[in-house]
Structure 1
Amino acid sequence: MPKVGILTFHRCINYGSYWQARCLAEGLASMGVEAVLLEHMSSRVNRAEWRCALQPLLPAATPMEDYPLYKAKIRKFFRSFASLPLSSPFPLENPAAMGDYSLIVVGSDEVWNLRHPWYGGYPVFYGEGLRCGRIVSYAATFGSLTSSERLQGWAEKLRKFSHISVRDLHSERIIRERLGLEPELVLDPCLQFPQMVTASRGDGEAASYIAVYGHSFPTWLQDAVRRWAEDRGYPLVSIGYRNEWANEQWIDAGPEDFARFISEAKAVVTNFFHGCVFSLVNEKPFACVLSDYRSNKIRDLTQLVGAEHHVLTEDTTPSQVEAILGNPLPMDIARRISFLRDTSNAYLSHALQ
């Protein structure tokens, strides 16, 4: 097997970004591949990332009592980053300073999202300047970028990729329309390699709390979920961010804390992509809501696995909330994910050769 470098967003203070990077690296290792995460460094990106981690609810201000909690959360992420399989560091702005690789895998995450507030616009994620024999993508996405937006001169750079796979229908459509290619549709690494996420999961029964993951939820969803949970005596516990409408806050949870927390929850309420992913990995009932920035990702994921009815709208009735959060996931979802794991594994096996 070749020496493989993985180019992704592995240092974000974000549970999903951390776990997708770790799962892809460890998943490739389980396939017998020597893989490392390419340790790109940028003081500009670091400053933006850390500012966002301390003030995640902008334009709403972070309460003063929450700053120590967000700082503790950042420190836990730093400890987790140190355990990742990392390459020698190199400047993000100067990929020529990186080592040589037989193959580089670009993705997962929003590596092609030119609207990303601090990573958007770096040509290295489009394959520019990489020192390698071949470039492939795995579960890459354009995120909130529309098919007609700011791609002039960028999409063509992807033609140097020998294999292209994406994780959502929106990105698949962009590749098809812009390049005339048919990319493979694959699973996010956390869904593709669930054993990496569930390795430390306990074997006991689910606890009687509802996990809340995300922020800036619409008022109608807060009211609907709170009524449902109160009627059944379930506390709402918010992880990673403050949600005043939840009963409890666990702001300073680290990445490993997050994985265990979701695995032990009764159900999950989220407006984040990886909130849905971790619910699916752990086969937890979940309800999600679309937001402007994440609508493409969540809508396409739920459509891909046949979970569209888990997307709540303002018209969702109390009986529908009960059907979604009060019952196990339909078996058809598990069967669909199993099928997609097979096709994703086939893509990786072929792309890595």
Structure 2
Amino acid sequence: MIIMKIAILTLPLHTNYGGILQAYALQEVMTRMGHEVILINLPVAKVSKVEKVKEFAKRLVKRFLLFKSVPLRAWPTDRERKNIAQYIAPFIHKYLQVVECTCEKQLLNLVIKEKVKALIVGSDQVWRPGYSTSVSTYFLDFLKQEEDIKKISYAASLGRDYWVFTKKQTQVLGELIQKFDAVSVREDSAVTLCRTYWGINASWLLDPTLLLDKTDYMKVCDLIPAGKEKHLMVYILDSNINKDRIIQEISELKNLPVHKVMAKNKYWNVGSSGIKDCIVPPISEWIEGFMNAGFVVTDSFHGMAFSIIFEKPFICIGNKTRGMARFTSLLKLLELEDRLIHSVDDLKPDVVNCDIDYSRVNALREKEINKSIQFLQGALCRAE
């Protein structure tokens, strides 16, 4: 295989543990293959002035007419964003070969300047409308026909198990995806959707984080098993009473203290006066939370993935808002469907108390790892 300069294009990096670690994992896999890899980082989408004014008006009403304690400003300034990400940024700077791109219009100039020979889109929900300024960017609409840059998607996610694109989007994006040299997706439902609407035979592959071993993450975070007392690792993105009850019941069933590694609050809720509670803990603390867990409760796809990587018993609470296909697809692949619940009524003590046979799970995962690596090697061979 010829050594190539490869660029990875994924969602903007900020404070999302899973988003950062999947980018790191894909970069690491490609580097181990001997390639020179860069990661193109676009800025987080800006909130429009109209949206800011509308939200400000709503909050004025809540505060002064309904007497509710809400911050008037809903979104952090750039300076406040840096404050929130102060413990995450060092990991990105140290371990990711990031090349910053100020806007989508500069992407073509950047890849030409960097002499990129192959561009890999993914992973994460890069093909989900609303998760980026323009979803067509992640279908590489900025690459001109004559550009000799090969196009590959790796475990790209639509985020849903149903079609969300308009008729016009389906046509435009369909024309773009036909130009890809190799296409792979993260969910089994996306295989069917790509075939039905675009006539594309996409491969169903693992999220990049699952291509690495737990020792890879422990090493990069300078973690050594220290025989600490086990805890109930809780990583919940969207809290509610139902999830709180599930956490409490599992904590009592397993006799484990609750351990959370995440910001204590969101800027949306507390504003600048509560920004200290919005600061996101370091990635090393998050990884250590899984390493020392006796059990995991999560509503996050990557929380589920790292439970599997660290071979921990877990319960995943379905997160319909963020897309169920991501959960059901991986759990089906590894024969762990009984680990998914939707409410406290679904919680079964016999499942919670039953150990996962990770020798079987790892065998299934190893098969999928080999399939994923072969896809990347084959795609790049076709790109030579």
Report the TM range for the smaller structure's normalisation.
Answer: 0.7 to 0.9
CA contact (8 A) 2:155 2:207 kept: yes
TM-superposed CA distance for 1:35, in Å, is 0.7
Q: Residues 109 and 235 from structure 1, CA distance in 2 versus in 1: closer, same or farther, beyond 3 angstroms?
A: same
Q: How does 1:85-234 map to 2 (within 5 A)?
A: 85-87=97-99, 89-100=101-112, 101-116=116-131, 119-130=132-143, 132-144=148-160, 146-150=162-166, 151-153=169-171, 154-194=173-213, 195-199=215-219, 200-205=222-227, 207-234=229-256
Higher deviation after alignment, 76-85 or 147-156: 147-156
Q: How does 1:331-350 map to 2 (within 5 A)?
A: 331-350=359-378
TM-superposed CA distance for 1:316, in Å, is 2.3
Q: Distance in 2 between matches of 1:176 and 1:334?
A: 29
Q: Residues 323 and 104 from structure 1, CA distance in 2 versus in 1: closer, same or farther, beyond 3 angstroms?
A: same
- Partner of residue 283, structure 1: 311
Aligned length: 329
Q: Distance in 1 between matches of 2:230 and 2:299?
A: 21
TM-superposed CA distance for 1:272, in Å, is 0.5
CA contact (8 A) 1:213 1:241 kept: no
Q: Distance in 1 between matches of 2:362 and 2:106?
A: 43
Q: Which portions of structure 1, spanning 4 or more consecutive aligned residues, are displaced by more than 6 angstroms?
A: none
TM-score by length of 1: 0.83
TM-superposed CA distance for 1:236, in Å, is 0.9
Q: Residues 112 and 33 from structure 1, CA distance in 2 versus in 1: closer, same or farther, beyond 3 angstroms?
A: same
CA contact (8 A) 1:112 1:120 kept: no
- Residues 9-43 of structure 1, C-alpha deviation per residue, up to 9 Å, x if partnerless? 25131000000011111121111111110133467
- Residues 109-128 of structure 1, C-alpha deviation per residue, up to 9 Å, x if partnerless? 11111132xx1524221111
- Residues 245-291 of structure 1, C-alpha deviation per residue, up to 9 Å, x if partnerless? xxxx9963112221122112111100010000111111111101112
Q: How does 1:17-36 map to 2 (within 5 A)?
A: 17-36=19-38
- Partner of residue 304, structure 1: 333
Secondary structure of 1:160's counterpart equals coil
Q: Distance in 1 between matches of 2:302 and 2:170?
A: 30
TM-superposed CA distance for 1:231, in Å, is 4.4
Q: How does 1:206-285 map to 2 (within 5 A)?
A: 207-242=229-264, 252-285=280-313
Higher deviation after alignment, 17-26 or 4-13: 4-13
CA contact (8 A) 2:10 2:122 kept: yes
Q: Residues 257 and 229 from structure 1, CA distance in 2 versus in 1: closer, same or farther, beyond 3 angstroms?
A: same
Secondary structure of 1:253's counterpart equals coil
Gaps of 5+ in 1: 48-59, 244-248
TM-score by length of 2: 0.77
Percent identical across equivalent pairs?
A: 22
Q: Distance in 1 between matches of 2:82 and 2:38?
A: 27
Gaps of 5+ in 2: 50-68, 266-276
Q: Distance in 2 between matches of 1:239 and 1:167?
A: 26
Q: Distance in 1 between matches of 2:239 and 2:44?
A: 32
TM-superposed CA distance for 1:217, in Å, is 3.9
Q: Distance in 1 between matches of 2:165 and 2:27?
A: 31
Give RMSD over aligned pairs: 3.0
CA contact (8 A) 1:238 1:250 kept: no
Q: Distance in 2 between matches of 1:61 and 1:140?
A: 37
Q: Residues 205 and 17 from structure 1, CA distance in 2 versus in 1: closer, same or farther, beyond 3 angstroms?
A: same
Q: What is the one-letter code of the residue matched to 2:35?
A: V
Q: Distance in 1 between matches of 2:250 and 2:286?
A: 23
TM-superposed CA distance for 1:221, in Å, is 3.8
CA contact (8 A) 2:22 2:124 kept: yes
Q: Distance in 2 between matches of 1:30 and 1:45?
A: 38
TM-superposed CA distance for 1:193, in Å, is 2.1
- Partner of residue 323, structure 1: 353
Q: Distance in 2 between matches of 1:10 and 1:42?
A: 6
Q: Distance in 2 between matches of 1:137 and 1:43?
A: 22
